[in-house]
Structure 1
């Protein structure tokens, strides 16, 4: 079962999801205006406080992607984040780019990350459980 990103128990998970996204956006040396606008949307979608937002934005290099040993857990992190993105029913191009970078940061190859993103877009246009998502994604790995 996936963690519910909207419960108080998952505040730490939401914080680290957001911190990881900021770190990825800053990985090329700067956060562009387009990336910052996207991060503000993620701030809202992940219920990140203003103080946490400022703390993370001030020093994004202080947060690296959480070390995840399990293939299932990596996929679950992506699934949780995709659920947040698809709250409004769509994923735009910038969100897709950041998710792809996040997948690579989690340890997927460039090809795997692209394929996961392609499949995820298809799946998230409807409503699927994590188990259905995991089975669908892992059929090719």
Structure 2
């Protein structure tokens, strides 16, 4: 059974991903990989994707909480030790939705990449 806190965070990722009205294949692939790493069963993953538009997610109102949300998402994506291209693209997209500039995103992500 997945950790309830990580499961709630994953649910937030799903809701952020559909904020633009759709889930692209690259987003679906990244979400599936993260769900798999968290131990979310396939049927539950599919249900979460199907109901993604029903989820409510409020973007944090202060910068500290936005940074914390982004850092948690990055940590989940790095469960296997590296970013896949799909995960990197999903994180970048979500960071933009959280209000980070391209420069801020690049700076944050560079701290997590191998030298």
- The TM-score with structure 1 as length reference comes to 0.62
Change in 2 beyond 3 A, CA 1:20/1:110: farther
| Alignment of 1:100 onto 2:92 | yes
Superposed CA RMSD: 2.7
Is the contact made by 1:21 and 1:98 (CA closer than 8 Å) also made in structure 2? no
Match of 1:76 in 2: 68
Structure 1 residue 61, shift from structure 2 partner: 2.0
Match of 1:63 in 2: 55
Change in 2 beyond 3 A, CA 1:27/1:66: closer
Which structure ranks higher in relative contact order (CA pairs < 8 Å, sequence separation ≥ 6)?
2
Structure 1 gap segments, 5+ residues each: 1-6, 127-141
Equivalences, count: 114
Is the contact made by 2:15 and 2:53 (CA closer than 8 Å) also made in structure 1? yes
- The TM-score with structure 2 as length reference comes to 0.72
**Which of structures 1 and 2 has the bigger CA Rg?**
1
